[in-house]
Amino acid sequence: MTQRWDPVVRVTHWCVALGFLLNRLHITDPGAFSHRIIGLAVAALVVIRVLWGLTKAKGPARLSALIPTKTAICHHINEVRTRSSDKSLGHNPLGAMAIWLFWICLPLIAFTGWAQDTSLMDLYPLEVWHYWLVNFVTLLVCLHISAVIGLSLWLKHNLIRAMLPGKK
């Protein structure tokens, strides 16, 4: 039976993914009220997930489980090379680094989007920062999806199923 992430992790993951996708694909017009609300909701979901990881989460969902080390990275690369990866629930060290990048960049995207529309911070560079952060996270999302699919096939371990609803 496949282990699954807890409901808070799964709900925040898919809601953040949907919110980013809606705004990135311009389903909502950039600068529109709905675009801003979705962006702020994504940032709030990241904060909720981080607080969950600091307080109530168990096992691999705790923030302390997402601290990659050089030794762990080398071990993971060797496991992938030999197809002997651990099938337990949790992020590999490279995945953990990506998670931290998401958690840093997504609130920064929301902040730079919000701040460029305020009279307080009517600064041109914020629009540029917003643009580049969105493009960086888009690249990171593509890398994340590719890694999940690639590792699932290579290691014969369905990583996607752990993020879907259902029982253990």
Task: List, for residues 91-127, the tens digit of each pLDDT value.
Answer: 888 999 999 999 999 999 999 998 886 655 566 678 8
d(CA 158, CA 114): 38
Q: Check residue 1 and give its pLDDT.
A: 43
Q: Check residue 30 and give its pLDDT.
A: 79
d(CA 21, CA 24): 5
Q: Check residue 88 and give its pLDDT.
A: 64
Q: Check residue 26 and give its pLDDT.
A: 82
Q: Check residue 111 and give its pLDDT.
A: 93
CB of 44 closer than 8 Å to CB of 12: no
pLDDT, greater one: 132 or 80:
132
Where does the pLDDT of residue 46 fall: very low under 50, low under 70, confident under 90, or very high at 90 and above? very high
